[in-house]
Amino acid sequence: MALWKNKDFGLLWSGAAFSILGMRVSSIAWPLLVVFDGGSPERAGLVGFAALLPQLVIQLPAGVVVDRLDRKKVMIACDVIGIVAIGSVLAALFMGGLSLPHLLVAAFLEGSAAIGYQLSERAAVRAVVHPQQLPKALSQNEARSKGAGLLGQPISTGLLSLASWMPFIVTVLGHLFSLLTLLAIRTPFQKERRTARRSVPKELAEGLRWMHGQKLLRSALVLISCTNIITQVLSLSMVLIIRESGRSVATIGIIGVASGIGGLLGALCASWFMSRLSLSILFVGTLLLRFLMIPTIAFTDSPLILGALFAAMSWAGGLMNVVGGVYQVQITPEEMQGRAGSVSSLVTSGANSLGPLTAGLLLGTLGTTPTVLTSALIMAALALTAAIAAHRHHPTTSATNSKLLTHA
């Protein structure tokens, strides 16, 4: 059956699309709500931090929960938590009783629900699609995430400019739509669990040991994390280049849109490339493409050229995310999908949090041009590392992995 004819996947994908978009809209609105409500930048920073804190402290426990419980029920619970958390903020806004502690708790709960939801949904995809369609399905999921990231900011800021409560209405509606689609899906989201439950620390340690033993997957996660940091460095470098050239902030937004479109296209075409090229070629190739693009950033302030360069690098990044995600889902045992996904997310999200700090230190110490050229050298080293890792561990193609799963 063609993927587009798979009713359960369509329901899962569309419900998650609205839920993730809603969560993205609210994550952007949290600090802005504080600022436009007359709060200080320090308070806005606290609320933004509360929304992002679950990425560091909830990931691993959430992975254990996803592997222990029914994934569909976990997703439903996460939607309900999101509705309650955001609904309480809406009630406070309408009643004029909004407080900082309330916002901190609501932002943390919504961020935690987002993690549990996305870990469960990612693990559930393998249960609702044929193994040979997994690369295409995860490619569409990555494209959906890129699209939510692209649309989230303009929707959030646009609605917030009309009324402070409007972005949060979008989030509640997204959770409600997701609930309806989840209730309509009949396919179980996991196989029957036959292993006895143990303590949370023991199950968490088991997942960490398994991930540590997957040398190629471990190498891929490190490479993706390093490229995430470099992306953050280059993004801040671009901001400084635009500012020093005397152009407006709107130029930065346009380049950001071009970058987002590039990432979306990279995710959409990932399954096509994976059906024709090996994992090692795709990993090394995307890193080399980025390496070739980066030096030009140091010697141009043209918005057109910068937009094209960032779009091309984001295209490679979107493709690379799908390749890594497909490989992780394919080789991970069914009963460990949640823990493996949580470790992967923790490593990559941790790198994203380190990116701005690294960028500030490098740019403040070296300056813009040396920082960009240093980033190019690091990317070249990462491409070489990827080539060595691929040669040692001999990754198979996606098609071969799918056949192995079919016979498993």
**174-228 residue pLDDT tens:** 999 999 999 999 889 887 666 666 677 788 888 888 888 888 888 888 888 899 8
Contact at 8 Å (CB) between 51 and 152?
no
Between 360 and 20, the higher pLDDT residue: 20
> What are the distances in angstroms from CA 202 to CA 136, 205, 206, 217, 355?
34, 5, 6, 22, 32
Q: Look at the pTM and tell me if it is higher than 0.85.
A: no
| Nearest CA-CA partner of 138 in 391, 318, 367 | 318
Confidence of residue 401 (pLDDT cuts 50, 70, 90): very low
d(CA 313, CA 309): 6
**321 burial via Cβ count (<10 Å: 0-12, 13-18, 19+):** buried
Tens digit of each residue's pLDDT (9 = 90 or more) over 58-111:
988 999 999 888 999 999 999 999 999 999 999 999 888 788 899 999 999 999
Please, what's the b/e burial string for 88-118 (b: 16 or more CB within 10 A of its CB; e: otherwise)?
A: bbbebbeeeebeeeebbebbbbbbbbbbbbb
The token pair that represents 360 in the structure block: 């500030």
Decide if pLDDT at 404 tops 50.
no
| Sign of the alpha-carbon torsion through 28, 33, 36, 40 | negative
Q: Report whether pLDDT(399) > 50.
A: no
| Rounded-to-integer distance, Cα 103 and Cα 154, Å | 22
Average pLDDT, the chain: 85
Q: Is 202 exposed, middle or buried (0-12, 13-18, 19+ CB in 10 A)?
A: exposed
Share of the chain above pLDDT 70, in %: 92
- Give 70-81 as a 3 state SS string: CHHHHHHHHHHH
